[in-house]
Structure 1
Amino acid sequence: MLLDFSLFQTLIVGLIFVWTGFVRTGLGFGGAALGLPLMLFIDHDPLLWLPIIGTHLLFFSGLTLSKRLHNVDWAYLRSSSLYIIPPAIVGVFGLVNLPTLWVNIFIYSISLFYGIIWMLNRTIASNQSWADKLLLILGGYVAGTSLTGAPLMVAVYMRNVAKAKLRDTLFVLWFVLVTIKMSTFIALSVELHFVTALALIPVAAIGHVLGLKAHDAIMRNDRLFKRWIGGGLAIVSFLGLLSLDWPN
């Protein structure tokens, strides 16, 4: 059944999903990282939103990849998955079992970190093999917990995958990670809110198409785009932390 939101909340949710669809295809990553902090203002339960985001990631990444699997760096995807998938599985179980407040603090804190470094025109980067592995492990865990680990893993993928193959390779990675997450949700009887996810697909499709059209322009102005969205993300995440019901 559809979520019981007011008309105003439904409109805001629709706009957020247009935004996540735009970011997902415009940048090739970050739809959850830039959308989930906003969604948590509507409802603080991550387990409400993450299955919906997961359904959309499976649908849109599968749609985008249906004719582009030839453009995937399969060799690097296989080697990097050894460091990403195990911590991602651990992260999923953490999401299901940790208190909602802790998960919210984690999500807003990691989003605040992303926002600050983007706003300051800093990048997450490494030039060492051990640092690459550490970022992949951390990114896998964060992705398992909240689907917001993309910037950590992208920092490594950008150095090891040709730019022409980067977005399609990342989409396969997101597809695999979300499949693991959704399978775990099903095994643990977590409500998937599938009807709501399906109802929001046409809305997210608007952002998806706009992002595809804007991808090249965004890549040419990557730093400027990230600076603006970084500032917005930092503000939203800081306000999100303030809005939580902290224990006395």
Structure 2
Amino acid sequence: MTDLQLYQYILIGLLFVWSGFVRSGLGFGGAVLTLPFLLLVVDDPLIFLPIIGVHLMFFSCLITWQNRQRVKRTAADHQSSVSTIDWQYLRFALSVMIVPKLIGILGLLTLPASLMSSIIYCIVIAYAISYVLNRPFRSNSRTLDIVFLIMGGYVSGTSLIGAPLIAAVFATHVSREKLRDTLFVLWFILVLIKMVSFLIAGVDLQLVHHLWLLPCAFIGHLLGERLHKKLVGAESKVFFRVLGSVLILVSTLGLIRTLI
């Protein structure tokens, strides 16, 4: 990512602000709602996934720590140990997801970049349609839970955009007060596995670009924290419909570009 034009660097910086904003505001979606736009700037997932992965690990730790401190301050009994993570369900989910996760990573490292970009665009279009129709993925049976976790693990391995499928399962089994922190611990573990595989495979982690893109994401994080309540309020349905429509348009254009 050293031979880009100035406007491309500016676009990438703004998109990482957007990524931080979404991740902080929603608790997930920093990759799935940003990667299609990034691929329109540079059509190579392996350039951006290491950067997104490091950001996900950093902000997962930051937000989990912030939430834990907040719970401790508001707890009635300050002498008791307060846990905001459902470790039991987290262990079960990881046992289901680990194999498809590794298979997805293998596909990312072996398949051509153009093919992976096309797969990512198709997955994002499916997510975006559910946003537009206001019918997000739901899990209502154990069999469907396992199917969603397997699919989410595989997609997470290929592109870090399996969050909507995984969150749909966790939302039905993890209490609301523990859901966000449990998901962030899961994201950290899944991304850590992916980053180790990148190191083993010799993938360029784009370390130089972390110096300026992490502050961009942090700006977005601060904005997302301030606007979190508005995003989960009554206007959030309209927000998701508009965002879903934009994602469909962008992903369709990107898909056409990769196929021509």
TM range (shorter): over 0.9
Q: Where does residue 63 of structure 1 map in the other structure?
A: 62
Gap runs ≥5 in structure 1: none
How high is the TM-score relative to the length of structure 1?
0.95
Q: For residue 192 of structure 1, give the secondary structure of its aligned residue in structure 2.
A: coil
Comparing 135-144 and 78-87, the one that deviates more: 78-87
1:65 is displaced (CA, Å) by: 1.9
Per-residue deviation, residues 175-233 of structure 1 (Å, max 9, x unmatched): 00100000000011111001102321111101111111222221223322221211111
Q: Where does residue 142 of structure 1 map in the other structure?
A: 155
- Measure, in 2, the Cα distance between the counterparts of 1:134 and 1:211: 31
Q: Where does residue 19 of structure 1 map in the other structure?
A: 18
Q: State how 1:54-133 maps to structure 2 within 5 Å.
A: 54-68=53-67, 70-133=83-146
Kindly report the root-mean-square deviation, in angstroms, between the aligned alpha carbons of the 2 structures.
Answer: 1.3
Q: For residue 33 of structure 2, give the secondary structure of its aligned residue in structure 1.
A: helix
Out of 180, 187, 192, which is 1:167 matched to? 180
1:151 is displaced (CA, Å) by: 0.5
Q: Where does residue 210 of structure 2 map in the other structure?
A: 197
Larger Rg: 2
- Measure, in 2, the Cα distance between the counterparts of 1:211 and 1:85: 30
- Measure, in 1, the Cα distance between the counterparts of 2:98 and 2:224: 28
1:29 is displaced (CA, Å) by: 0.4
Question: Percent identity, aligned pairs only?
Answer: 47
Task: Tell me the amino acid that sits aligned with residue 61 of structure 2.
Answer: G
Out of 220, 238, 247, which is 1:224 matched to? 238
Q: Where does residue 45 of structure 2 map in the other structure?
A: 46
Matched, 1:241 2:237: no
1:38 is displaced (CA, Å) by: 0.5
Q: For residue 32 of structure 2, give the secondary structure of its aligned residue in structure 1.
A: helix
How high is the TM-score relative to the length of structure 2?
0.90
Comparing 98-107 and 178-187, the one that deviates more: 98-107
Task: Tell me the amino acid that sits aligned with residue 188 of structure 2.
Answer: F
- Measure, in 2, the Cα distance between the counterparts of 1:102 and 1:164: 39
- Measure, in 2, the Cα distance between the counterparts of 1:183 and 1:3: 24
Residues 162, 143 of structure 1: alpha-carbon distance in 2 compared, 3 angstrom cutoff: same
Task: Tell me the amino acid that sits aligned with residue 93 of structure 2.
Answer: S
- Measure, in 2, the Cα distance between the counterparts of 1:151 and 1:52: 20
- Measure, in 1, the Cα distance between the counterparts of 2:41 and 2:164: 24
The answer as to whether partners of 1:3 and 1:196 remain within 8 angstroms in 2 is no
1:60 is displaced (CA, Å) by: 1.2
Q: Where does residue 76 of structure 2 map in the other structure?
A: none
Task: Tell me the amino acid that sits aligned with residue 236 of structure 1.
Answer: V
Gap runs ≥5 in structure 2: 69-82
- Measure, in 2, the Cα distance between the counterparts of 1:199 and 1:11: 11
> What number of residue pairs does the alignment pair up?
245
